[in-house]
């Protein structure tokens, strides 16, 4: 694939042929606003917030679907471009709740970010506003359609990443909405609650229920970790506040999974603070389980394994591991069984 050169905001940029203007600007360190565009999804050029001015072209063009050409001269912040973006923002907030101070997405909302960037405080358009009921009758996702800006990211994310095809656009004109088949609540739809739609939503239309009423987004400490639920090795960021895990957020830097997670990875970490979770080893004494130190528990296990091996031979021992553990954990299990216990009696749950 050949290289081409173009000028963006007076800066010469060299990119691969076929690169869009938006991506070319990104490579040059120039951020062009976007709502409907994401690099992991197909482009549709619908929101028009990413419009730019290209010399020689009569109209402003959507940079996310316009291919860069040799010698092209692009301007991303001209008067015409800024006015167009302000118009788009005013049209959006004309039918958008002005409850930013109490919105769960405040601090991580693209609509609020761009309104601040262009000084859009209110809309000059007046008219009827939607008043959709809140969809919060499930333990994972809160859906507020009044805050939806129809960018379509949730629809494409659901269709293109997990391939669930649970979300679609329904109706036309003012009544158009991104929703489930039959416009039923999430809990009654085919949703598997992987949370992909929440990850891509740029506003407060889709949010994690676990974060509601707990903390503001900018107060979260993010800790990169590997999902413990299976051996795939997905990465994500644990959301930590006051030394407590309050949720999970996908990260673009995850090599294995990108921003795709399953229901366990996205919403299953609440077990960490479950009051029924064992936090210390238990040893049975006189028929009752009593707390013990790790050293005491491990010494007991080692002594009992040694007794079994000495009394009944190595083949009296067997280990059963899981295909949902990591490769490293399974390797250690079979290594212990063969090298320490002296038997090849190793099996795992997925063999059949």
Confidence of residue 148 (pLDDT cuts 50, 70, 90): very high
Domain housing 138: 100-213
Which residues are CB-neighbours of 281 under 8 A, at least 6 positions away? 291, 292, 293, 294, 296, 297
User: Domains in the chain: how many in total?
Assistant: 4
Res 199: pLDDT: 96
Residue 127 clears pLDDT 90, i.e. is over it: no
- Per-residue pLDDT tens for 234-264? 999 999 999 999 999 999 999 999 999 999 9
**45 within a domain of the structure (yes/no):** yes
Using alpha carbons only, give the angle 156, 37, 88 rounded to the nearest 5 degrees: 115
The answer to whether residues 254 and 345 belong to one domain is: no
Q: Residue 24 and residue 325: Cα distance in Å, rounded?
A: 41
- Per-residue pLDDT tens for 47-79? 999 999 999 999 999 999 999 999 999 999 999
Average pLDDT over the chain, rounded to whole? 93
Which of 213, 243, 262 marks a domain boundary? 213
Residue 329 clears pLDDT 90, i.e. is over it: no
Residue 172 clears pLDDT 70, i.e. is over it: yes
The answer to whether residues 33 and 53 belong to one domain is: yes
**292 within a domain of the structure (yes/no):** no
Residue 1 clears pLDDT 80, i.e. is over it: no
The answer to whether residues 53 and 105 belong to one domain is: no
Res 65: pLDDT: 96
Which of 28, 45, 77 marks a domain boundary? 77
CATH code at 122?
A: 3.30.70.20
């Amino acid at each position: 694939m050949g290289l081409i050169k173009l000028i963006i905001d007076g800066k010469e940029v060299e990119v691969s042929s076929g690169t869009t203007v938006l991506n070319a600007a990104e490579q040059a360190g120039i951020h062009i606003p976007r709502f409907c565009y994401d690099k992991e999804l197909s482009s549709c050029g619908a929101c028009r917030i990413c419009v730019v001015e290209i010399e020689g072209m009569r109209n402003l063009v959507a940079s996310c679907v316009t291919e860069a050409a040799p010698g092209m001269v692009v301007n991303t912040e001209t008067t015409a471009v800024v006015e167009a973006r302000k118009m788009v923002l005013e049209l959006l907030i004309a039918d958008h709740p002005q409850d930013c101070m109490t919105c769960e997405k405040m601090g991580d909302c693209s609509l609020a970010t761009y309104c601040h960037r262009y000084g859009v405080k209110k809309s000059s358009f007046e008219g009827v506003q939607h008043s959709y009921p809140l969809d919060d009758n499930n333990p994972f996702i809160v859906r507020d359609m009044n805050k939806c800006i129809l960018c379509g990211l949730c629809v494409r994310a659901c269709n293109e990443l997990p391939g669930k095809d649970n979300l679609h656009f329904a109706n036309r004109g003012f009544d158009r909405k991104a929703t489930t088949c039959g416009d039923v609540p999430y809990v009654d739809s085919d949703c598997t609650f992987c949370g992909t739609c929440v990850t891509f939503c740029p506003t407060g239309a889709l949010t994690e229920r676990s974060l509601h009423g707990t903390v503001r987004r900018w107060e979260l400490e993010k800790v990169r970790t590997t999902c413990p639920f299976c051996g795939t090795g997905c990465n994500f960021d644990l959301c930590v506040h006051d030394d407590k895990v309050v949720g999970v957020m996908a990260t673009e830097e995850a090599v294995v999974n990108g921003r795709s997670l399953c229901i366990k990875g996205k919403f299953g970490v609440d077990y960490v603070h479950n009051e029924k979770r064992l936090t210390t080893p238990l040893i049975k004494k006189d028929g009752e389980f009593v707390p013990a130190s790790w050293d005491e528990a491990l010494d007991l296990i080692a002594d009992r394994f040694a007794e079994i091996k000495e009394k009944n031979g190595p083949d009296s021992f067997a280990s059963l591991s899981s295909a949902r553990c990591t490769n490293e954990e399974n390797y250690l299990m079979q290594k212990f069984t063969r090298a320490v216990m002296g038997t090849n009696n190793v099996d795992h749950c997925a063999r059949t």
